[in-house]
A and B are shown apart, each in its own frame.
Chain A
Amino acid sequence: MSTHTGHPAQQGPEPLDLNDPRLSRFDIVQEGARRDDIEIVHYEPQVVAGSKAERRLTRTVAMMFLLTGAAATAFLIIYIWWPWRWEAGRGGDKWYTPLLGLTLGVALLGIGFGILTWGKKLLAKEVSIQDRHDQPGSPEDRRIAGETLLYMADELGVKRRPLLGASLLAGLLPVGAVAAAPLVGGLISNPHKNNQMFTTGFQPQDGKKIRLVREDGRPIRPADISAGGQLTVFPGIDGGVSNKHADSPTLLIHLREDDAQKSRAANQRKGHGDYMWGNYVAFSKICTHAGCPASLYEQQTNRLLCPCHQSQFLITDNAKPVFGPANRPLPQLPIEVDEEGFFVAKSDYTETIGPDFWERP
């Protein structure tokens, strides 16, 4: 049986006397390999010392290292002195980053291929064979390890003193819970606080209807949108045009006359008869599939496309999904025009905004 230590005395012809002055360094290396069960069966220098081939290869490798030095120097020079800042009118310098990449890349490739060539071409080729020794431990060793573990169980008396085990378990369980508690307790956050998943910024405040505003906060008159036009609108409240109200962005569309008629008829069917104002409709911009802004409005087909997963909604049919993975129409915002002539939301959305979830009614 071969042992893992593989002492050479058991296998080799005779143990080498490492103090023998006639031994070359290679002999010692080979002896070391032998002690690790490695046999160097083929060892063949690729170049003859002093030969033309060696000189050529040496030059090649040296050239690569020198190239590295040159490229690295160039990197430093460019890094320090090349004009790189972005300036209005001129833009940034389009060569700065590419030149840095080029010089750094060449420097690294130079040293890499230099080392590779050195190792591959100038060092001797070898074939060595090593034993794997991946047999499992001897049955005896396995037995001893197993018995030792069982012996520990015996000593602890797990079987004889069941109370110890049970009490330890009873003690450790709460400790485990203590470790988990701050993590869970600190992170947990009620999704239904303030009914936040079902309300948006268009929820009337103190009985006052919320205006629809543009991205710069200006309210919108009907004349602001041409027929066949669309405008992204926000609730006219504090922070309405910000990610604080990420579920509120809405698409206000001015339909052409015949499309508006279709849309009105569809609204009637759904019991949303008073959601439109004139030829204007407003739908949530947040896709009901995964929450991207579904905003690719095609004014001739009246389809609204979401660029993330290509769900398509038909605006003139209550924004019903007609293609792609979305399963639910975009919620519609009931709108009207207040006495000052600006668009307001009659009420909040009557359906849930954004991606579906388990407890959506």
Chain B
Amino acid sequence: MTSDNDRRRGLLARLRGRPVARSRGRRRLGAAVRLTAALMLAGGAYTVFAPGVQAQDNPPLSAAANEGKALFDVSCVTCHGRNAQGVEGRGPSLIGVGSASVEFQVSSGRMPMARQEAQAQRKPPQFTDEQVRQLGQYIQELGGGPQVPQGNLREGANISTGGELFRINCSQCHAFGAGGGALSSGKFAPSLKPASDRQIYAAMLSGPQNMPVFGDNQITPEQKADIIAYIQENLKGTQDQGGFNLGRYGPSTEGLAIFLVGIVALVFTTLWIAGKS
């Protein structure tokens, strides 16, 4: 839904012939504020704990993780704290969440969050794939945790098994057509339409926000591949057989359609038939 909004806003802006002034400007502003805050925090911390910083770096980080740490200290440290220990009331600790969680949250643009709200929304990502990998590497080396494997994530998948697993594990929240659904008190299960293979895999592995965790013991990597194939190839890939799918919202939009299309068309016909000519 969010991505829809963004796309629509983008289209509107393009039609107007201007760049996406507002949102991008705001995002830049936000980034600047965060940057300043981060710099001040880092600077302050440095003067107080100058000797300690060296001491905490004892496990040597790989080159990628070092790059990731630099990004983290600029963009994430405000909420997740130094060394990803978490900040009370602002952001949880990231120790042990693994690169899967980072990959899901950052590559789908959910993190960094624009503001504190019931649930992080999908946004255009702020980091390149390479930067996401570096951030993930940093968090992974800090505290370990689940990782999304490399390579083709739906190799040799069986769509039929995937469908069975999708219906039993996923459709109750994400709906039969993967369009998403409401949860309690403003939370929601997002639409899976914009999600990439890696994001779906990472989400199952890490259980972002209120989504339950589907570890590799529960749903094996092969089964995960089946589910991803079912979502990507059947729900998104093949077209609907019976014409325009009305958004796949179930009977709600069908009921709307019979009044807005069927009844309206026929009432106009009756007006014409009985009209004086």
**Direct A/B contact, Cβ within 8 angstroms:** yes
Which A residues are closer than 8 A to B by beta carbons?
Answer: 46, 86, 90-92, 94, 96-98, 101, 116, 120-121, 125, 215, 221, 223-232, 253, 293, 295-301, 303, 305, 307, 310, 312, 323
Question: Closest CB of chain B to A228's CB: distance in Å?
Answer: 4
Smallest CB separation, B159 vs chain A (Å): 8
Cβ contact within 8 Å between B184 and A298: yes
Q: In the complex, are the beta carbons of A296 and B173 less than 8 A apart?
A: yes
Instruction: Please indicate the chain B residues that have their CB under 8 angstroms from the CB of A98 in the complex.
Output: 242-244
Nearest B residue to A303 via CB reads B184
In the complex, besides A229-B218, A299-B213, 7 extra interface pairs with C-beta distance below 8 angstroms are A94-B241, A125-B277, A296-B189, A301-B184, A301-B187, A301-B210, A307-B181
Among residues 163 to 218 in chain B, which have CB atoms less than 8 Å away from a CB atom of chain A? 164, 168-169, 172-173, 181, 183-184, 187, 189, 207, 209-215, 217-218
Known contacts: A101-B243, A298-B187. The answer to whether A215 contacts B173 by CB under 8 A is no
Contact partners of B237 in chain A: CB under 8 A? 91
In the complex formed, the residue of B with least CB distance to A307 is: B172
Q: In the complex, are the beta carbons of B218 and A225 less than 8 A apart?
A: yes
B238 within 8 A of partner (CB): yes
Inter-chain contact A296/B172, CB cutoff 8 Å: yes
Partner of A231, one of B172, B218, B240, B277: B218
CA–CA, A323 to B185, complex, Å?
Answer: 10
Looking at chain A's contact residues, is the secondary structure mostly helix, strand, loop, or mixed? mixed
Whether B253 sits at the interface, judged by CB under 8 Å, is: no
Does B23 belong to the interface (CB within 8 Å)?
A: no
B172–A300 touching, CB < 8 Å: no
Contact B183 A229 (CB under 8 A): no
A298 close to B183 (CB less than 8 A): yes
B48 at the interface (CB under 8 A from A): no
B36 at the interface (CB under 8 A from A): no
CA distance A298 to B181 in the complex (A): 13
Top 5 A-B pairs, shortest CB-CB distance: A91-B238, A94-B239, A226-B215, A298-B210, A229-B213
Are A120 and B172 touching (Cβ within 8 A)?
no
Contact B207 A228 (CB under 8 A): yes
User: Contact size class for B?
Assistant: 20 to 34
Find the B residue at minimum CB distance from A215: B168
Q: Which residue of B lies closest to A91 (CB)?
A: B238
- B273 interface hit (Cβ, 8 Å): yes
Which positions 227-277 of chain B face chain A at CB distance < 8 Å? 237-244, 272-273, 277
Question: Which chain A positions have C-beta within 8 A of B211?
Answer: 299
Nearest A residue to B164, CB-CB: A215
Write the chain A residue with the least CB distance to B181: A307
Q: Tell whether, in the assembled complex, residue B241 and residue A229 are in contact, meaning their CB atoms are under 8 Å apart.
A: no
Contact in complex: B187, A295 (CB < 8 Å)? no
Q: Indicate if the CB atoms of A91 and B277 lie closer than 8 Å.
A: no
* Known A91-B238, A307-B181; contact A228-B168, beta-carbon cutoff 8 A: no
B169 to chain A, nearest CB (A): 8
Residues of A within 8 A of B213 (CB): 226-229, 299
State the Cβ distance, B96 to closest chain A Cβ, in Å. Answer: 11
* A-B contacts, 27 listed (Cβ < 8 Å): A90-B238, A92-B238, A92-B239, A94-B238, A96-B241, A116-B272, A116-B273, A125-B277, A224-B215, A224-B217, A229-B213, A229-B214, A229-B215, A295-B172, A296-B172, A296-B183, A296-B189, A297-B212, A298-B187, A298-B210, A299-B210, A299-B211, A300-B210, A301-B184, A301-B187, A307-B172, A312-B184
Q: How far apart are the CA atoms of A30 and B50 in the complex, in Å?
A: 112
Bound: A91/B277 CA distance, A: 50
Shortest Cβ gap from B231 to chain A (Å): 15
A92 to B237, alpha carbons, bound, how many Å? 11
Given contacts A225-B217, A225-B218, A301-B210, contact A232 B184 (CB under 8 A): no
Expressed in whole angstroms, the minimum distance between the Cβ of A43 and any Cβ of chain B is 15
Interface centre among A91, A96, A232 (most CB of B within 10 A): A91
- Measured between beta carbons, the chain A residues less than 8 angstroms from B215 are 224-226, 229
Instruction: Kindly list chain A residues whose C-beta atoms are within 8 Å of the C-beta of B172.
Output: 293, 295-296, 307
Q: What's the minimum C-beta distance from B148 to chain A, rounded to whole angstroms? A: 15
> What residues on B are CB-neighbors of A92 within 8 Å?
238-239, 241
CA distance A140 to B135 in the complex (A): 101
**Given contact pairs A91-B237, A215-B168, A46 touches B183 in the complex (Cβ within 8 A):** no
How many angstroms from the CA of A357 to the CA of B211 in the assembled complex? 33
Q: Which of A92, A215, A226, A312 has the most chain B CB within a 10 Å cutoff? A: A226
Of the candidates B212, B240, B244, B272, which one forms a contact with A228 in the assembled complex, judged by CB atoms under 8 Å apart?
B212
- Collect the chain A residues with CB atoms within 8 Å of residue B207's CB: 226, 228-229, 299
Please name the residue on chain B nearest to A214 by beta carbon: B218
